[in-house]
Structure 1
């Protein structure tokens, strides 16, 4: 079986994680105890749990005292779900390599891996579309029946495999259920709208900010927009459809630290001929920070240095 040793060597070089999954027993992974039908069910459940995590994150309030603990919990569970998806992908790649037999070289292995990754991403995309298209009909039913049907459908689709992430996320702590009164005014939808689609992530949400141009942003996406604008001057100030999004409109959903940093960046980016201090690279020397003795005469923006 010299060809099998060659394949293992190629895998260990190009895909070390997959090689660890093989655990020195290539044939053991080719014939896993989980059949492909259960494998697909586990993958679908994992993606559903990721979507549920996104919903839970979107419900977090900036002033929630348990926000940091919940975010840590969500991050840990997401890592576990992603590991499950990676394991499923590795199994499929290994089966395809085994089927290729002696023809399996580094180029073929790479092609197989890329094809499986694209196929898995496509299944996730279709699942997102299916979930979004089913939400309007769910919202027309009563909240109690909707939640109970969601729980029953989740339990029905739960695979028997112990590595399923469902067992950990089903008891996932979440923020207290909020009524319309608890939703900040800036995130309340126009009259007659129960849900809207976020312009960034395309998710349906019942709480979103409406930009001056009419586009909607969910809480996380509008915060990310302001955060990225502070890191990239070309995106500052935040805009949508070329129209500036005023800070005062979204101030209620931004943290005090983010607002303070935003104002500092606003001063920095609006200062012409900025000078950055060498000993404090993060501080821009605007006119207010420049000592009087170092300020240039009125009307002069630069001078020649005497050598």
Structure 2
């Protein structure tokens, strides 16, 4: 605001005080006020509207100047956002073998140009400056609601926040694809934004109960060490640890049993792939321990005859 603008504001406020003082003078019927009182009310309303418009313009220009001063910093921030999005798109290309799926990114220079436009519009005195400034500020607002994957501009309420440190948001389609793809591809699990895992609880409302169940099953599978899968090639399903009984794991889909050591069909006797058992047997031999003929457990006889039943 210039000194002339400040002077105009002072004049308007003085006129407003004068009008309000005159309104208190005189007595008349409230339902039938004199014409001059009606005119004063109209004049008062006009002055208040003008003052409000000036205040709004001051706020908009203040924002514009701040953007101009921080243009370099904002440009750097948007460049980091673009790089994160580009890295994710490359990962999708490598996974699916799809070529050129990424939209052409906006250049950093164009980002700074947008921010500079705001400042230049705030420094003009033409009657169109406010309209131009409003248009630019709207563009900046929409950029803060841009899907980090597909770059679609999202309406208020349509953006999905995932707790990203940088405040990135997703559209529903992209967040669904991100989680559904991670179910069948462990390389994409867990879904992340800026290297931070996205809690499923933040996006669960966008998935069906069946999809939520599949994601929970994938979470159990990917967090299990030394996993066991059904030995049958026609099945090959993951067998949760709770389904294991000693050295065998029963598939909950086809009900066949798999050896947890060699990962082949369940079999009787010791498994050659059970390294821990081989070490234990070697230790038993050195200490002259023997194995029970019934349950095959290793025991140390400290009394009785040499015959075991």
TM-score normalised per structure 2: 0.34
Structure of greater relative contact order (alpha carbons < 8 Å, 6+ residues apart): 1
Question: Greater Rg, structure 1 or structure 2?
Answer: 2
TM-score normalised per structure 1: 0.34
